Structure 1
Amino acid sequence: MDIVDFEVPELKKMKRPPPVLYCRGRKRLLTRRKVSIVGTRRPNAYTKSVIGQIAGGLAQRGVVVVSGAAMGVDALAHRGAGAADTIAVLGCGLNHRYPAVNASLIEEIETEGLVLSRFEADFRAAPWSFVVRNEIVVALGEVLVVGQADRNSGTMRSVEFAKRMGKEIFVLPHRLGESEGTNDLLKEGSAEAIYDLDAFLLRFGEAEENGADDLLEFCRCFPTYEETLKRFGDRLLEAELEGRVLIRNGLVVPT
C-alpha cells in the first residue's frame, strides 16, 4: 500500500479534502482527464448497455473513469473503461475488497489501474464512510455522469456534492417511471441529457487509434445477443466462432 504523495487539485473542491489518500496501483492516473460515473446498484438493461459504451468511449479518448466500485453502475463503468483506465474509490480500507462480489474487479484495478481510499488499511466500511467515498468520486471528475437513480438514493447525494462543487451533470434519458431521480434533475434543469452519445464523447476529443477491438469493448458490459447482433452483424458471429466471445443466457461475454 502507498499514499498519493502529490497534490490533486480536484480535491480542493471538497468541503474537507482528505489529509491523506491511500492507494494501490498507478498514481499517475490522477494527473489525466477524469470523468465520474455513478448510479444505481440495480441498473436496467438499457443503462447497462449505455454506461458501458460511455465508459469505453471515454477510455478510448484517454479519459480516466472514476467510480466507487459498488455493484451495478459503478462496476459497469469500471469494466467498460477497462482496469487500466479507471480509478476505484473505496468506502473501506485497502485491506478489504468490498463489496465481495466485486473483489476480483477491485484486484484487477489494483494491478492495472488505481484504487484509492481515504481510510486506513484495516478500516471496515460504515454507512457514513460511503458518503465520504462518494464526495471523493465526484470531486475527481471533470463532470459527473449519472446512469440511473431513484429519488432519495445515495446516488442523489452524490448529485448534491456535484451541484455544490459546480460540476456539470449529465444523465441518460429514461422512460417515465424509471430513474425518477435523474428525470427530476432534467425537469428542474440541473442536468443535461445525453441524447447523442457520439456528441457527448466528442467533448473529450477523438478516439485514439490504439487498435482496440470495438466489438470486445462493447461486450465488456455483457450486452444482450440481440443488441450486439444488431450493432455488429456478422462480426459477432465471427468472434463467436473464433472463441473471442461466448453467448450465455442471452448475453454476450468476452473470453
Structure 2
Amino acid sequence: MKTMSELLFEKVPALEAMRKYPGELHYCGNTALLSRVKLSIVGSRRADGYSRFMTSELSAKLSRAGVCIVSGGAMGIDATAHAAAGASNTIAVLGSGIDIRYPATNRALLDAIGHDGLLLSPFADGFQATPWSFVVRNEIVVALGDALIVTQADENSGSMRSVEHALRMGKKIYVLPHRIGESEGTNRLLKEGKAEAIYDIDAFVSGYGEAARCVGDAFLDYCRTAPSYEDAVRDYPQEVFRYELEGKIAVVAGKISVLV
C-alpha cells in the first residue's frame, strides 16, 4: 500500500545551506528526527563487501550512540546505512514523490522508515524520479547532516557530486580508507586533503555520540512537560527507551516522569 505524504510547513534550518531552499517539502513519519544530531552517509550503489560491512558497522554504532543517519534511500551504501541505523533512527530523502517506492527493491525498507523513521521529499506525491531530481535529493541529504561520510565512490559518481555540495557548504567530509585502485573518488579526496579517513570507528563514534548526548538534554526538557508515554514514543522513540534503561525517566500512570 502506498503511503501519502504531508507538507512540512516549518522551516528546517539545516536546509538554508542549500543554493535554494526547497519550494515545498513533503514528509511521512517522525519529524522530531530533524532536531537530532545527524550524519549523512552516501556511497556507491554497487558497493563491495568491505564497504557494505564497514558502512553497516559505522551506521549501527552511530545510531546506538544517538546519532540519526541521513541518506538517499538508494541501493547499495544508502540502503545499508538506513538498515543498520534502524528504521526509527534514520531519514531517507527521496528523488521521487513519497508515495512512489523507488527503487522498488527497497520498498520494505522505505515502508519501515515511513512508519518508524522519516521520509522526506521536495516533490509531491505522484512525481516520478528523474536524473535532475536526484541532484536535488543529494543536496538535501548533504545539507541535513552535520558532516558527510562517503564510504565508497568512484570518480564522476553521484556520491562525488554530493561531495561538491559538502565542500560548498563547508561541511566536514569523512571517508573510509581503501586500497589503491579501489574507490578512487574517496582516495583522491584524501590525497587532496579534502577529507579525513575514519581509521577507528569506535573513536569516531565516541565524538559524535557525545554531541548527541548533549543534544539529548532537550529530550529531558520535553519530558518535564509530562507528555504521555504514547506521544513520547511517537516523537522520540530512541530516547524514550535509552533514557528509561539509564534510569533517567519512568512511566507513571501513562505519563513520562523525569527522575534526574
- The two structures have a TM-score, normalised by structure 2, of 0.79
Aligned residue-pair number: 211
The aligned counterpart of 1:90 is 94
Aligned to 2:15: 11
Q: In structure 2, which of residues 121, 125, 132 is the aligned counterpart of residue 128 of structure 1? A: 132
Q: Supply the distance in 2 between the matched residues of 1:57 and 1:171 (Cα, whole angstroms).
A: 16
Q: Do residues 25 (structure 1) and 52 (structure 2) align? A: no
2:142 counterpart letter in structure 1: V
Question: d(CA) in 2 for partners of 1:60 and 1:201?
Answer: 9
C-alpha distance in 2, partners of 1:148/1:137?
16
Identity fraction in percent? 56
- Which runs of structure 2 are paired with 1:205-224 in the superposition (5 Å)? 205=209, 210=242
Over 3 Å off, 4+ runs: 206-211
Query: What's the RMSD between the two structures over aligned residues?
Result: 1.5
Q: Distance in 2 between matches of 1:147 and 1:194?
A: 9
Instruction: Name 1:38's counterpart in structure 2.
Output: 42
Listed as ranges, the matches of 1:46-57 within 5 Å are: 46-57=50-61
TM-score normalised per structure 1: 0.80
Aligned to 1:155: 159
Q: What 5-or-longer segments of structure 1 have no aligned partner? A: 212-255
Structure 2 CA distance, aligned partners of 1:179 and 1:36? Answer: 18
The equivalent residue for 2:122 is 118
Contact 2:40 2:71 in 1 (8 A): yes
CA distance in 2, matches of 1:115, 1:66: 10
Q: 134, 144, 152: which one pairs with 1:140?
A: 144
Q: Find the counterpart in structure 1 of residue 207 from structure 2.
A: 203
Equivalences for 1:55-74 in 2 at 5 Å?
A: 55-74=59-78
Correspondent of 2:197 among 193, 204, 212: 193
1:94, CA displacement in angstroms?
Answer: 1.1
Name stretches of at least 5 consecutive residues in structure 2 with no aligned partner. 214-238, 244-260
Measured against aligned partners, the alpha-carbon deviations of 1:11-49 in whole angstroms (never above 9, x if no partner) come to: 010000102210000011111111000000011111111
Measured in 1, the distance between the counterparts of 2:209 and 2:183 equals: 29
Give the deviation of 1:205 after TM superposition: 2.5
CA deviation map 1:213-234 (0-9, x unaligned): xxxxxxxxxxxxxxxxxxxxxx
One-letter code of the match for 2:64? Q
**Kept after mapping to 1: 8 A contact 2:100/2:128:** yes
Structure 1 residue 210 displacement after superposition: 4.0
Deviation string for 1:114-171 (max 9, x for gaps)? Answer: 0000001011000000000000000000000001000000110000000000000000
Shifted more, 49-58 versus 157-166: the winner is: 49-58
After superposition, give the CA deviation of every residue in 1:167-210 in whole Å (9 maximum; x if it has no partner): 00000000000000000000000000001111110111359994
- Show the counterpart of 1:79: 83
